[in-house]
Structure 1
């Protein structure tokens, strides 16, 4: 099976798993960690271009699991995360990883945050090395093994 097909299948499987847990994923820590993860993945290569920003914002708005939260609130949190990265990428990244780590207390939420990162990263069909690296860092922040997610 080609890498592209495996990636697509993995993102689809993760999305299905997330939807199955939707009712358990309603906390503020999950919401904040998910938006921090989305910002980290969107800016993983160190730049934030407008098209990627729009694409990730559309994915957030259409993600069934994230519909537990008001879309405008998610958009604001995502934009705030990107603004922190744009102002000072390294410092912003540390702050966003700390935000991700807040989901550590609930293992199901922690895994869901990583799955969202993978779904967002793979949505364009190219879960590239920089996106994988930032999701791997988030695994460490959450006390999860990247191997569990094939990272």
Structure 2
């Protein structure tokens, strides 16, 4: 199976698993951790151009699990997180990982945050090494083994 097909299949599998847990994923900690994860993946290469920001925003708005929350609230949080990363990447990354860590208390939410990172990272058909590294770092932050997610 080609790498491209494996990436698409993995993202699709993660989204299916997320949809099955939708009713359990309604906390503010999950919301914040998910938006922080989206921003970290979007900025994994050190920058976020307007087209990439728009693409991720569309993915957030169309994600069935994230529809538990008002779209404009998610958009605002995502943009705030991206702006933190643009302003000072290193300090912003630390701050965002602290928000990701909020999901640590509930294993289902922690796993869902990682799955959202994989879905966002693989949505363009290329889950590159920089994106994988960010998601692995989030796994460590959430005390989850990266191998569980084929990272």
State the TM bucket, normalised to the shorter chain: over 0.9
Shift of 1:20: 0.3
Shift of 1:43: 0.4
- C-alpha distance in structure 2 between counterparts of 1:13 and 1:83, whole Å: 30
CA RMSD of superposed structures (Å): 0.3
**SS of corresponding position for 2:7:** helix
> What is the TM-score of this pair, normalised by structure 1?
0.99
- C-alpha distance in structure 2 between counterparts of 1:99 and 1:17, whole Å: 23
Shift of 1:92: 0.2
**SS of corresponding position for 1:125:** coil
Match of 1:32 in 2: 32
- C-alpha distance in structure 2 between counterparts of 1:86 and 1:4, whole Å: 29
- C-alpha distance in structure 1 between counterparts of 2:129 and 2:116, whole Å: 17
**C-alpha distance after superposition, 1:36-82 (max 9, x if no partner):** 00000000000110010000000000000000000000000000000
User: Which stretches of structure 1, 4 residues or more, deviate above 2 A after TM superposition?
Assistant: none
Does residue 1:131 correspond to 2:131, yes or no? yes
- C-alpha distance in structure 2 between counterparts of 1:9 and 1:71, whole Å: 26
**SS of corresponding position for 2:137:** helix
- C-alpha distance in structure 1 between counterparts of 2:123 and 2:36, whole Å: 17
Q: Within 5 A, what are the aligned runs for 1:2-151?
A: 2-151=2-151
**SS of corresponding position for 2:44:** coil
Shift of 1:130: 0.4
Shift of 1:21: 0.2
Gaps of 5+ in 1: none
> What is the TM-score of this pair, normalised by structure 2?
0.99
The number of equivalent residue pairs is 151
- C-alpha distance in structure 2 between counterparts of 1:47 and 1:19, whole Å: 30
- C-alpha distance in structure 2 between counterparts of 1:48 and 1:56, whole Å: 10
Gaps of 5+ in 2: none
